């Protein structure tokens, strides 16, 4: 080698100036460091959350559609999907393995939970994060509203449409809408082989558009072809579609059509003078007394008490199985007024008269409402 220095590419020779050597040192460090830097990482796994479009009504259990997107060179990771109520913590969470070596991108999963039922609009969030922690990758907020169709009831149930006698011949199905509906439909189902909901649909009634609020529909026990539904167990569901085209169907309501022994009611009356007996007379103050007298014109009974009380009874000749449900009297209180308490047993009605100090009761009529059994 000659005494003059020879330049080696990338290195400074002995003949290089100090300034040149200063410039070369950082370059050497950069080149050396580059030997230990890993190859650039592939794109991070991404995710999106999708929920049903439009209003979300109770009960709502999802699912939320979660889609993971990744490159084939990404490593396997575990992601946690959570349902949260802001300010109240996590309702449910579930882990999902995303493994590009075994799965294709996009990779969809469904995340569901127990039905959410609320009485007032309530906010929730479904979000995705790595199981190891870190920030939320993506999230979607939604609001659960009260049930679109709620408050189903039937009155009466059981009912007796198979006997057209004016007694419980139809039942009224009542329900409430939480929002205006562009279409409302009542579905009636027979029970299945195990007596549960729901077997064959026997009746469909379209009620059309209805405003938010309380509504009712009368069912006469007929099927869709107008034939009488037989004795048995039935289930009613009400479906509604709101103005945003979101359709929901209510829970099933059990309704009974039956035959058998029922009780019907009727009334009877008789003259006040037709009482059967008196009982329970006693003084309320020393020297008290009661006086009971039948009058034939008019056919009334006079009950007069001074510092005493008494009970007067009427019998009604009811047959076996018949019983009194309520009793009433037509009374003229006279000069002193009538202090009284009506009552009844299964077969007799009575008027209890008490006098502090004097009562005068002219009983013109005794009346009862009674019930009796009927086989239907």
| 3-state SS assignment for residue 49 | strand
Provide the residue count of the chain: 376
Alpha carbons 302 and 282: distance in angstroms, whole number? 18
CB 31 within 8 A of CB 10: yes
Q: Is a pLDDT exceeding 70 seen at residue 8?
A: no
pLDDT given for residue 351 in this prediction: 98
What is the percentage of the chain residues whose pLDDT exceeds 90? 77
Query: Dihedral, CA atoms, 141, 146, 147, 149, nearest 10 degrees?
Result: -140
- Residue 350: count of CB within 10 angstroms of its CB: 23
Taking only the tens place, the pLDDT of each residue in 254-264 is 999 987 677 88
CB 245 within 8 A of CB 54: yes
**DSSP H helical ranges for the chain:** 18-34
pTM metric for this prediction: 0.57
Report the pLDDT averaged over residues 289-310: 94
Taking only the tens place, the pLDDT of each residue in 146-160 is 999 999 999 999 998
pLDDT given for residue 33 in this prediction: 38
pLDDT given for residue 7 in this prediction: 31
| 3-state SS assignment for residue 250 | coil
Taking only the tens place, the pLDDT of each residue in 91-118 is 999 999 999 999 999 999 999 999 999 9
pLDDT given for residue 166 in this prediction: 75
- If one compares 39 and 217, the residue with the highest pLDDT of the two is 217
pLDDT given for residue 376 in this prediction: 66
Alpha carbons 60 and 213: distance in angstroms, whole number? 21
Domains delineated in the chain: 46-145 (2.60.40.1930), 149-259 (2.60.40.4070), 266-375 (no CATH)
């Amino acid at each position: 080698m000659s005494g003059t220095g020879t330049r080696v590419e990338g290195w400074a020779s002995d003949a290089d100036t100090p300034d040149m050597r200063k410039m070369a040192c950082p370059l050497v460090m950069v080149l050396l460091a580059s030997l230990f830097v890993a190859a650039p990482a592939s794109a991070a796994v991404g995710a999106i959350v999708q929920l049903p479009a439009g209003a979300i009504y109770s009960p709502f259990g999802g699912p939320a559609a979660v889609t993971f997107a990744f490159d084939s060179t990404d490593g396997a990771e575990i992601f946690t999907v959570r349902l949260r109520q802001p300010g109240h913590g996590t309702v449910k969470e579930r882990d999902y393995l995303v493994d590009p070596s075994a799965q294709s991108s996009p990779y969809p999963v469904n995340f569901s939970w127990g039905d959410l039922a609320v009485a007032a609009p309530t906010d929730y969030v479904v979000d995705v994060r790595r199981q190891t922690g870190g920030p939320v990758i993506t999230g979607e907020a939604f609001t659960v509203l009260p049930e679109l169709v709620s408050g189903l009831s039937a009155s009466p149930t059981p009912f007796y449409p198979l006997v057209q006698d004016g007694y419980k011949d139809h039942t009224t199905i009542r329900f409430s809408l939480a929002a205006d509906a562009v279409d409302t439909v009542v579905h009636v189902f027979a029970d299945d082989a195990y007596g549960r909901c729901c077997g064959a649909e026997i009746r469909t009634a379209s009620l059309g558009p209805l405003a938010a609020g309380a509504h009712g529909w009368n069912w006469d026990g007929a099927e869709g072809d107008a034939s009488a539904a037989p004795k048995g167990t039935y289930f009613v569901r009400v479906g509604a579609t709101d103005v945003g085209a979101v359709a929901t169907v209510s829970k099933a309501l059990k309704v009974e059509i039956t035959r058998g022994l029922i009780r019907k009611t009727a009334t009877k009356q008789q003259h006040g003078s037709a009482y059967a007996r008196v009982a329970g007379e006693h003084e309320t103050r020393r020297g008290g007394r009661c006086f009971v007298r039948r009058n034939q014109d008019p056919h009334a009974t006079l009950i007069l008490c001074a510092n005493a009380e008494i009970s007067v009874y009427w019998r009604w000749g009811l047959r076996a199985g018949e019983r009194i449900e309520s009793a009433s009297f037509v009374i003229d209180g006279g000069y002193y007024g009538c202090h009284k308490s009506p009552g009844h047993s299964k077969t007799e009605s009575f008027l209890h008269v008490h006098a502090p100090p004097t009562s005068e009761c002219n009983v013109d009529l005794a009346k009862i409402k009674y019930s009796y059994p009927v086989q239907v």
